[in-house]
Structure 1
Amino acid sequence: MTTDDKLKQIWAGCLNNERKQEELFYKTLAPRMMAVCMRYAHDRDEAQDILQEGFIKAFKNRQYYRGEGSLEGWVRRIMVHAAISRYRKTKPVVLCDEMSTETFSGTYNYDGLETQDLMRIIRQLPDTYRSVFNMYAIEGYSHQEIGSALGMSELLSRTTLCRARTILKNKLTRLNKAEVYRMAM
């Protein structure tokens, strides 16, 4: 039995409003969904809030999962939308033009870069840049979907992604140069 099959079995209990099954479903998916929420949040507390909002939405809209596709994927999409909703309520879409003027140069050697280090660097992006980068590069949304979700044009989504990538490249280049300097000491 696959993990998704087990989740669907637990989900059947959730559909019948069985609180123990809801708790089991939450405990099973919460660690993986927390990782999704952390990509959109500034810190762990904000990610926890997004996680809670996402699970509330999932349980409130449980009748809309039709059993097609991955149940975990359905919940993941709800988490992303919960993060976007939270972002749209609290932040207007503003581009940081001063950050987009950074130039890119240098060579890259990212061997040994840990996933948590990369995620920390991504979390340093301005909110709009981070949201667009996560939705496109990690979640696989199209620019049209991103624009629609964040209330921006498709072109602005593309431009924002380009700027986010430039910022990330610059940060990684500086990180790489600092590592080379430390090794030389």
Structure 2
Amino acid sequence: MKTTFPPALSDAELIAACRRGQRAAQEQLYQRFAPKMLALCLRYVRSRWDAEDVLARGFLQVFRHLHQYDGSGCLAGWVRRIMVNEALGWLRRQPRFTLNIDDCPTAHLATDLPAADVALQAADLLRLVQELPAGYRAVFNLCAIEGYTHPEAAALLGIAEGTSKSQLAKARAILQRRVTARQASSLTSSVPLRYAA
């Protein structure tokens, strides 16, 4: 007989049921966090296929280490940390992944551009972040999106704190340049052509 749980089950109740090995609770835990965690994985990993692989591996770690969750912090934050670590591990296993300061030519570092005041769709923003070189993308996601400090990001990535700061600055400059370029191209394409009579 299949056990079902009410949708308003608290995190503590859900974890207790998962620890008892109840499949319905494990499914509910997965359903509760999978959409947001997939979005997180897609920020670190470019292809959806690879992001889904990271997500699956991350949930294996969640279920494998659920006994270590002591309830002192937010369950969503605990799951998020596991997913971030799994995504970073995936990046490290890639043969072309480097956290070099010279991942991109310095031509991308124009910092005198005005702040791009443009409303981009979430998919556009995700695509721009995914286009960053792996090292820049990892630092940007950790510091600008996840809220890690530079010392924390540097420790997670095995780099110097200065490298983390430099890569975040370069990632922001690249993103600003690309957003500004998209804004300019959308303005150009929306200007109607005028023909002489």
TM-score (norm 2): 0.86
How far 1:131 sits from its partner (Å)? 0.5
State how 1:120-131 maps to structure 2 within 5 Å: 120-131=127-138
Q: Does 1:116 align with 2:123?
A: yes
> In the alignment, which residue of structure 2 is the partner of 1:93?
99
Structure 1: which 5+ residue stretches go unaligned? none
Asked whether the 8 Å contact 1:100–1:167 carries over to 2, the reply is no
Q: Secondary structure at the match of 1:101?
A: helix
Q: Secondary structure at the match of 1:75?
A: helix
Amino acid at match of 1:135: L
CA distance in structure 1 between the partners assigned to 2:98 and 2:112 by the alignment? 31
> In the alignment, which residue of structure 1 is the partner of 2:77?
73
Deviations for 1:92-127, whole angstroms, at most 9, x for unmatched residues?
323445433322444445333112211111110000
Per residue, is there more helix in 1 or in 2? 1
> In the alignment, which residue of structure 2 is the partner of 1:31?
35
Structure 2: which 5+ residue stretches go unaligned? 1-6, 193-197
- When the two structures are aligned, how many residues end up with a matched partner? 183
Asked whether the 8 Å contact 1:38–1:44 carries over to 2, the reply is yes
The structure that has the greater radius of gyration is 2
Moved more, 125-134 or 64-73: 64-73
TM-score (norm 1): 0.91
| RMSD (Å) for aligned C-alpha atoms | 1.8
Runs of 4+ in 1 over 4 A off after TM superposition: none
Q: Percent identity?
A: 34
